[in-house]
Amino acid sequence: MVLTIFSAFAEIVSLGAVLPFIAAITQPDKVMEYAVVAYLAEALEITTGAQLVLPLAVAFGLAAVLAGALRLCLVWGTVHLGNGCGADLSVEVYRRTLFQPYAVHISRSTSQVISSITQKVAAASGVLSAVMILITSTLLFLAIVTTLVVVDPTTAFAASMSFGICYAAIAYITRRRLATNSGIVAREQDTVVKALQEGLGSIRDVLLDGSQNVYINFYEKSVNKLRRSHVQLSFISQFPRYVMESLALVLVACFVIFLNGSPAGVSESLSVLAILALGAQRLLPIVQQVYGNWSVIAGNHAALLDVLVLLEQPLPSEAILPPVQPVGLKQRIDLSNVSFRYTEMEPLVLSGIDLTITKGSRVGIVGGTGGGKSTLLDLLMGLHSPTDGEISIDGNIIDSEIGRSSWRRSIAHVPQNIYLADCSVSENIAFGVPPNEIDFARVCEAAERAQIAEFIENGLDGYNANVGERGVRLSGGQRQRIGIARALYKNASVIIFDEATSALDDKTEQAVMQTIEGLSREITMLIVAHRISTLKDCDFIIKLDGGKIVQQSNYDQMFRLSNQI
Residue spans of the domains in the chain: they are 91-311, 332-564
Is the CB of residue 420 less than 8 Å from the CB of residue 428? yes
Q: What is the pLDDT of residue 281?
A: 65
Reduce the DSSP state of residue 551 to 3 states and report it: strand
Q: CA-CA distance, 244 to 136, in Å (whole number)?
A: 20
The end-to-end CA distance of the chain, in Å, is: 79
Which residue from 302, 298, 316, 295 is spatially nearest to 116, judged by alpha carbons? 302
Q: Which helix (DSSP H) or strand (DSSP E) does residue 97 occupy?
A: helix 53-98
Give, as one character, the DSSP assignment of residue 430.
T
332-564 sits in which CATH class?
alpha beta
Is the CB of residue 293 less than 8 Å from the CB of residue 137? yes
CATH homologous superfamily of domain 91-311? ABC transporter type 1, transmembrane domain (1.20.1560.10)
CA atoms within 13 A on the CB side of 544: 27
Is the CB of residue 380 less than 8 Å from the CB of residue 350? no
Please give the C-alpha separations between residue 74 and each of 3, 16, 412, in angstroms, as whole numbers.
Answer: 6, 21, 52
Please give the C-alpha separations between residue 229 and each of 220, 234, 235, 540, in angstroms, as whole numbers.
Answer: 14, 9, 10, 61
| Interstrand relation of 350-358 and 388-393 (parallel, antiparallel or unpaired) | unpaired
Which residues does the chain have with pLDDT short of 50?
266, 564-565
Phi and psi at 528, nearest 5°, equal -95, 130
pLDDT digits (tens, 9 = 90+) for 205-249: 677 667 788 878 888 888 888 888 878 877 877 777 777 767 766
pLDDT digits (tens, 9 = 90+) for 446-491: 888 888 888 888 877 888 888 877 777 788 788 888 888 888 888 8
DSSP string over 202-226 = THHHHHHHT-HHHHHHHHHHHHHHH
Whether the model clears a pTM of 0.75, i.e. scores above it, the answer is: no
Q: How many whole angstroms from its chain centre is CA 122?
A: 8
Q: What is the pLDDT of residue 264?
A: 54
**Which amino acid does the sequence have at 471?**
G
